[in-house]
């Protein structure tokens, strides 16, 4: 093996020879490499002086670099460089850049915002980000909602009301849909069947006339359904009681023109078990009043389902 | 001057010296954190009650299932102090918020979103539906389905799990003295949840009253996971602080 090595060299060696002819060279480092190495040493010492670096007892050397920022109370503070103070500064700078827009949104009545092209652009872009991060998980990215989960926000049908004020109240405080099982009344299976027939007849389905009549009596009498859904079955947005006279169903799988027995079974199931879902979280802890106003206008005008009254 | 020939020919000595050399970085960077005041931030109510508390028995089982299913492989629990992260996820994570996590769930990879403040962001129904079939809620999601979480929760060893964490310094209580100390630190309601002898009873009670999985009768793994998810990032009430209150700890 070693016999095959015919290479020769002129470099200095350490004098350490292994296996007869395997030598260890001591070539000097290239100058560019050496100076780059010296530079990294100078850089690190500069860094130690300027930024937090060495632990000392219960503290650490804080460095000479400082950051000055204003907190949310408007108090100006100067502190040694650290990532948390840097974030305060970043947030403050960003707030100042967006301030003219947010101030204008806060000062402008809801109805006027969408009419101002500049503000409308701001709401459309900033609102879309807020909506995607916070609302789309349930209401889907286009606000189209999800059956048996979260209502459609782009149509004209509203459970808790579609005016600016109502939308703002919904986002701020959250919602929780509650319908007691059997409406809280003592109903037997036959009575629930009649009620289901009556409820389906309200939205234009042709149902068994005798059962509809019996259901009508129960709805306005023993069942006391009217106390929430109204005597005309049009619901009550103050308490989130659904309008039963339209063809929009969020929780109950009723298909317009579908087989009557399946529709009746679906409505019966809802009446029997009631509803204790439709929980929308409270967003006031997570979003600022400015952000909620933006989102309100986004839902009302950009998604476009908002109602005037 | 040590003759390096001696080191190279003595494997045991070389092993010791190599271990020493590679631990220098860790010793210098990590050990001082145990001594520097403010590494773990103080977050207390005006009454002096600690805001960050250990997990209840049910939440702890949820955390163990979170680890079992490898959620941490795709989800971090660490909001870094950057503007984009605070806009999307909320207040940056405090060291105090994972002080009772052994191991911590900071993670190093986000295939899914950060979960450090997912608690109370969505309803229980959403969490259940999303764990059963993520794409039914988020069409573009690549998260797997976890339908088996609807199976019954094994609660027999929850006390042992708490006892194991107690060894690492999590203040779950066994004796009356420890219990009383927890009452002082965390308040009476929380202290009851941290008492190991009552772990199973507390777990069942929380699962039934919380009804996290939409089925009040049974205690399922879903109850535990959703209870855990719903508490993440909710312990510190930031409305009680100025937005720069935690700057001073760095």
For chain B, the C-alpha Rg in angstroms (whole number) is: 22
> Is the pLDDT reported for residue A3 higher than 70?
no
For residue A23, the model assigns a pLDDT of 84
A268-277: pLDDT as tens digits: 999 999 998 8
Q: How far does the CA of residue A277 sit from the closest CA of chain B (Å)?
A: 8
- The tokens describing B23, both together, are 């631990």
Instruction: Report residue A256: phi and psi, to 5°.
Output: -60, 130
The pLDDT of residue A309:
65
Looking at the complex, report in whole angstroms how far the Cα of residue B183 sits from the nearest Cα belonging to chain A. Answer: 27
Whether B32 sits inside 8 A of A60 (CB atoms) is yes
Q: Name the residue among B244, B247, B236, B250 with its Cα closest to residue B43.
A: B236
Provide the mean pLDDT of chain A. 91
DSSP B42: P
**What is the predicted ipTM?**
0.88
The pLDDT, as a whole number, for residue A122 is 92
Query: Among all residues of chain A, which has the CA nearest to that of B136?
Result: A146
What pLDDT band is residue A192 in, cutting at 50, 70 and 90? very high
A94 touches chain B (CB under 8 A): yes
Whether residues A85 and B250 touch (CB distance < 8 A) is answered with: yes
- CB crowding A75-109: b at 16 or more within 10 Å, else e: eeeebbbbebbbbbebbbeeeeeeeebbeebeebe
Q: Is A133 on the interface with B (CB under 8 A)?
A: yes
- Which pLDDT belongs to residue A10? 76
**Is 60 exceeded by the pLDDT of residue A4?**
no
DSSP A242: P
A242 touches chain B (CB under 8 A): no
Cα B246 to Cα B92: distance, rounded to the nearest angstrom: 10
**Nearest by Cα to B46 from B245, B248, B212:** B245
Tell whether A247 is within 8 A of chain B (Cβ).
no
User: Given this model, what pLDDT does residue A18 score?
Assistant: 85
Could you identify the residue written with the tokens 């405080």?
Answer: A173
Closest partner residue to B81 among A71, A83, A137, by Cβ?
A83
Name, in order, each residue with C-beta under 8 angstroms of A162's C-beta and a sequence gap of 6 or more. Answer: A156, A300, A305, A306, A307
Q: What is the pLDDT of residues B192-212, one digit of tens each?
A: 999 999 999 999 999 999 999
Q: Which of A77, A91, A279 sits opposite B86 (nearest CB)?
A: A91
**Is A58 within 8 Å of B37 when comparing Cβ atoms?**
yes
Model's pTM, two decimal places? Answer: 0.89
Cβ within 8 Å, pair A138-B122: yes
Nearest CA distance, A211 vs chain B (angstrom): 33
Give the pLDDT of residue A300. Answer: 94
Residues of chain B where predicted confidence (pLDDT) is lower than 50: none
Query: From the centroid of its chain, how far is CA A175?
Result: 15
Question: Which residues, including other chains, have CB under 8 Å from residue A302's CB and lie 6 or more apart?
Answer: A114, A120, A123, A124, A127, A128
CA–CA separation, B157 and B59 (whole Å):
14
Q: How many CB pairs under 8 A join A and B?
A: 88
DSSP for residue A287: S
Q: In chain B, which residue's Cα lies nearest the Cα of A280?
A: B123
> Over 90: is that where the pLDDT of A85 sits?
yes
Chain B positions touching A94 (Cβ under 8 A) are 83
Model confidence pLDDT, tens digit, residues A227-280: 999 999 999 999 999 999 999 999 999 988 889 999 999 999 999 999 988 899
Q: B33 to chain A: nearest residue by CA?
A: A55
Instruction: Give the closest of A84, A94, A282 to B81, CB-based.
Output: A84
Task: Say whether B35 and A57 touch across the interface (CB within 8 A).
Answer: yes
How far apart are alpha carbons A1 and A21 in whole angstroms?
A: 11
Q: Determine the Cα angle at B206 with ends B200 and B71, to 5°.
A: 90
Q: Does B247 touch chain A (CB under 8 A)?
A: yes
Cβ neighbours around B125 below 10 Å, total: 20
Q: Are A16 and A23 in contact (CB under 8 A)?
A: yes
Token pair listed for B52 = 């960050």
What is the arithmetic mean of pLDDT over A111-119?
A: 91
| Rounded Cα–Cα distance for residues A93 and A84 (Å) | 14
Cis peptide before B103 (omega within 30 of 0): yes
CA distance A222 to A149: 30
CA B86 from chain centre, in angstroms, equals 20
B244 touches chain A (CB under 8 A): yes
pLDDT at residue A1 above 50? Answer: no
In this prediction, residue B26 carries a pLDDT of 86
The predicted-structure confidence for B75-111, as pLDDT tens digits, reads as follows 999 999 999 999 999 999 999 999 999 999 998 899 9
Q: Going by C-beta distance under 8 Å and a sequence separation of 6 or more, which residues neighbour residue B127?
A: B212, B225, B226, B229, B230
DSSP E strand boundaries for chain A: 13-18, 22-25, 55-56, 59-60, 66-70, 76-80, 175-176, 279-280
Instruction: Name residues whose C-beta falls within 8 Å of residue B162's C-beta, 6 or more positions apart in sequence.
Output: B57, B60, B170, B172, B196, B199
How many Å apart are CA B211 and CA A176, to the nearest integer? 15
CA A261 to chain B, closest CA, distance in angstroms equals 27
**Are B242 and A73 an interchain contact pair (Cβ–Cβ within 8 Å)?**
yes
Q: For the segment A198-224, what is each residue's pLDDT rounded down to a tens digit?
A: 999 999 899 999 999 999 999 999 999
Are B244 and A134 a contacting pair at CB < 8 A?
A: no
Closest-CA distance, B211 to chain A, in angstroms, reads 11
């Amino acid at each position: 093996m070693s016999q095959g090595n015919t290479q020769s060299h002129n470099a200095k060696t350490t004098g350490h020879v292994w296996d007869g002819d395997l030598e260890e060279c001591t070539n000097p480092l290239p100058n560019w490499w050496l100076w780059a190495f010296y530079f990294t040493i100078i850089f690190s010492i500069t860094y130690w002086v300027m930024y937090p670096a060495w632990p000392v007892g219960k503290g650490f050397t804080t460095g000479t670099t400082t950051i000055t920022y204003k907190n949310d109370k408007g108090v100006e503070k100067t502190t040694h460089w650290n990532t948390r103070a840097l974030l305060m500064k970043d947030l403050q700078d960003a707030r100042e850049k967006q301030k003219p827009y947010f101030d204008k949104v806060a000062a402008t009545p809801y109805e006027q915002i969408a009419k101002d092209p500049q503000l409308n652009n701001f709401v459309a872009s900033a609102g879309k980000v807020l909506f995607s991060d916070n609302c789309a998980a349930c209401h889907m990215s286009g606000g189209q909602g999800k059956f048996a989960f979260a209502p459609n926000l782009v149509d004209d049908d509203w459970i808790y009301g579609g005016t600016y004020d109502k939308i703002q109240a919904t986002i701020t405080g959250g919602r929780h849909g509650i319908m007691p099982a059997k409406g809280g009344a003592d109903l037997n299976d036959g009575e629930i069947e009649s009620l289901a027939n009556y409820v389906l007849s309200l939205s234009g389905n042709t149902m068994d006339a005798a059962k509809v009549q019996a259901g009508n009596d129960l709805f306005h009498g023993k069942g006391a359904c009217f106390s929430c859904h109204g005597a005309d079955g049009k619901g009550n947005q103050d308490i989130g009681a659904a309008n039963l006279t339209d063809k929009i169903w969020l929780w109950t799988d009723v298909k317009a023109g579908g087989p009557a027995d399946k529709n009746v079974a679906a409505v019966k199931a809802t009446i029997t078990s009631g509803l204790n879902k439709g929980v929308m979280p409270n967003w006031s802890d997570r979003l600022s009043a400015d952000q909620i106003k933006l989102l309100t206008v986004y839902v009302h005008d950009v998604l476009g389902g908002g109602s005037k009254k | 001057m040590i003759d390096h020939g001696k080191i190279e020919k003595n494997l045991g000595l070389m092993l010791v010296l190599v271990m020493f050399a590679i631990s220098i970085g860790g010793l210098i960077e990590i050990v001082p954190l145990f001594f520097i005041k403010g590494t773990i931030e103080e977050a207390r109510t005006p009454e002096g009650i600690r805001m960050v508390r250990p997990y209840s028995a049910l939440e702890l089982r949820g955390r163990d299932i979170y680890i079992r299913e490898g959620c941490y492989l795709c989800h971090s629990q660490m909001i870094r102090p950057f503007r984009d992260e605070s806009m999307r996820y909320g207040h940056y994570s405090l060291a105090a918020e994972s002080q009772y996590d052994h191991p911590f769930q900071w993670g190093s990879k986000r295939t899914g979103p950060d979960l450090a403040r997912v608690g109370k962001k969505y309803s229980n129904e959403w969490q259940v539906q999303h764990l059963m079939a993520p794409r039914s809620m988020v069409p573009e999601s690549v998260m797997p389905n976890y339908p088996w979480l609807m199976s019954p929760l094994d609660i027999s060893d929850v006390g042992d799990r708490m006892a194991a964490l107690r060894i690492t310094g999590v203040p779950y209580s066994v004796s009356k003295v420890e219990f009383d100390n927890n009452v002082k630190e965390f308040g009476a309601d929380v202290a009851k949840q941290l008492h190991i002898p009552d772990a199973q009873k507390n777990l069942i009670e929380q699962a039934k009253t919380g009804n996290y999985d939409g089925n009040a009768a049974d205690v399922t793994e879903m109850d535990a996971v959703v209870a855990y998810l719903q508490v993440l990032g909710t312990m510190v009430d930031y409305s009680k602080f100025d937005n720069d209150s935690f700057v001073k700890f760095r």
